[in-house]
Chain A
Amino acid sequence: AQRVTQPEKLLSVFKGAPVELKCNYSYSGSPELFWYVQYSRQRLQLLLRHISRESIKGFTADLNKGETSFHLKKPFAQEEDSAMYYCAPPGAGGTSYGKLTFGQGTILTVHP
């Protein structure tokens, strides 16, 4: 079974400080992971996916197979980054794209 774990339910930082949201996974097969974000009063939406190695809104996430982690990082947090963040696998892989199980979510609060 694919599982992701986000150990921190709440994370608070001050504006301009670095932030890291943790995500660990246990997987069979080749992992592929995403970070989703939910801003206040907005839909849950994709933030970034590891396979594209992109940086979105200053956030990056590197898949570390040795540590089975996919932590989300930003060097200088902004107040508008305050949101709920979810780590998630895409599904069972291959042609079976069924069950998706999200991490428990981390609420990030960036203080002025």
Chain B
Amino acid sequence: DGGITQSPKYLFRKEGQNVTLSCEQNLNHDAMYWYRQDPGQGLRLIYYSQIVNDFQKGDIAEGYSVSREKKESFPLTVTSAQKNPTAFYLCASRRAGGPYEQFFGPGTRLTVL
């Protein structure tokens, strides 16, 4: 079964703790993305990666970090420096060539207690 998986579905964190969200894809896509979705604010890009061992900041990268050691995996770490981490996080991937459709994971809802 091909696609993108994210885990966990729900995540609770205490203030001051770092937490890592998993994103895996078996679509052989080169590009991967992390978005944050908040009510009334749509999708905002956190980080993206076009190739293994390379990634770029999106519009709201502060307080987040990523790695891209494998083509299939693009984990996102929400650090204690992120001031308002409670949100719904979406991972996506896309092929290098056209068509340029993005495929999305089911999302992780992070709640900071």
Chain A residues proximal to chain B, CB less than 8 Å: 6, 9, 32, 34, 36, 43-46, 49, 51, 86, 88, 90-91, 96-105
Contacts and interface: CB of A to CB of B under 8 A. Distances in A.
Contacts of B42: 6, 86, 102-105
Interface in B48-86: 48, 50, 56, 58-59
Contacts of B27: none
Contact of A101 (B41, B59, B105): B59
A100 B33 contact: yes
A98 B40 contact: no
A103 B37 CA distance: 12
A49 B45 contact: no
A100 B102 contact: yes
Interface size class of B (residues with CB under 8 A): 20 to 34
A6 to B, nearest CB: 8
B43 A46 contact: no
A98 B99 contact: no
B90 interface: yes
B110 interface: no
Contacts of B35: 102
A101 to B, nearest CB: 6
Interface string B86-101: 0000101010101111
Contact of B56 (A9, A36, A46, A98): A98
B43 A105 contact: yes
B100 A9 contact: no
Contacts of A103: 42
A102 B59 CA distance: 11
B105 A43 contact: yes
B101 A34 contact: yes
Most interface-central of B50, B59, B96 (chain A CB within 10 A): B50
B37 to A, nearest CB: 9
16 contacts: A43-B105, A43-B106, A44-B104, A46-B101, A46-B102, A51-B99, A86-B42, A86-B43, A91-B100, A97-B50, A98-B31, A98-B48, A99-B45, A99-B58, A100-B48, A103-B42
